[in-house]
Structure formats: structure tokens, C-alpha cells
Amino acid sequence: MLGKKMETAINEQINKELFSAYLYMSMSADSANKGLKGFANWFMVQYHEEMLHAMKFYEYITRQGGKVTLKAIAEPPQTFESPMDMFQKTLKHEQFITQSINDLVNLAIQEKEHASQTFLQWYVTEQVEEEENDNDIIAQLKLIGSDTAGLFMLDKELATRMLTVPSDFSKGVEAAMKAMGKA
């Protein structure tokens, strides 16, 4: 059973995950518009990951007998100065999300909701990976500087990123993947 405070906080987190998806979709669109197909691919994979993060919370609330409440999603920025600008904004946003996940864990501890504490650990681990990925790409972009050949190479590398969904990710997501013939 999910307490009211936890239910409200997780519903707010669903909105944050959906905004994350929206933000990365916008970055993907801007990259595609500038001919950076690899960056566009990387951000579109990121969009799908964020949708899965939202779905995982959705399913948790539902399975715990709570009610999912969907709010308006804010408009993301439409254009970005450069790939570096995008990844710096991505890192900053992920640091904000990490703080938000930490706040959820703190609430679960305060409310003595052990199931929620356990469930949230997946997100704690995921955020370490998210920030690491962004820091890695920012480091590469720093090395590249204004070298267009280097940027071209990185774009090729980012074109290879594929969406991977762990088999135990979420019952609902698994069913959807099966329906699409992907699992």
C-alpha cells in the first residue's frame, strides 16, 4: 500500500520523467535539423529511456493500488547553440533529476515505506549511469573543440546507440515490447 505523500511525490516524478523525454526529443529534433544524425539518434534513444522511466513509476503506483495523476508537460527549449550546449543542459537536468530521486528516497525512509525504498534503488543506480554518460560525452566534446572531423567521428559513434530494455524492467513494458515483436 502506497501512502498519499509517496503517491503524490511519485506522480510529480512521472511528470519530470515525461518532461525529460520531451526535452531530449526536442534535442533530437534540433540535431536532425542541423544534420547531426548520430546526435539525433542518441537523444531519441534517450527519449525512449525516459518514457520507460515514467512507465516504470506508472506501473509501481498502479500495482500498489494508487492512482496515477497526469499533469501538463512544460514546453522544452526548441533550439540549442551547439552539441556541447545540449550535453551541458542534459547533465544539468540529470543532476536535477538525481536530486529529485534522492528526495523520493528520503521521503520513503521518513514514511517507513520499505517497498518504495527498494523500488527506488533502481533509479538511484540509473542516475549514476546517466550522469556518467553525459560527463563522458562532454569530455569528448572538449577534446574535439572546434575540430569538425572530430565532431563527425563522434556523430558516427552516437549513431550506433540502441535502446536496450532489461527483461525484468516492467510487466507493462514487457507486454508492450512483445506486442511490437521486440521481446
* 12 burial type by CB count under 10 A (0-12 exposed, 13-18 middle, 19+ buried): middle
Closer to Fe ion at the Cβ: 53 or 80?
Answer: 53
Residues 6+ apart with CB under 8 A from 161: 41, 42, 45
> Can residue 30 be called a binding residue for Fe ion (CB under 5 A)?
no
> Can residue 130 be called a binding residue for Fe ion (CB under 5 A)?
yes
Closer to Fe ion at the Cβ: 2 or 53?
Answer: 53
In the complex, minimum distance from the CB of residue 1 to Fe ion, in angstroms, rounded to a whole number: 25
In the complex, minimum distance from the CB of residue 97 to Fe ion, in angstroms, rounded to a whole number: 6
Closer to Fe ion at the Cβ: 7 or 130?
Answer: 130
Closer to Fe ion at the Cβ: 134 or 155?
Answer: 134
Return the residue of 2, 9, 25, 53 that touches Fe ion, per CB under 5 A. Answer: 53
In the complex, minimum distance from the CB of residue 142 to Fe ion, in angstroms, rounded to a whole number: 22
Residues that bind Fe ion (CB under 5 A): 17, 50, 53, 130
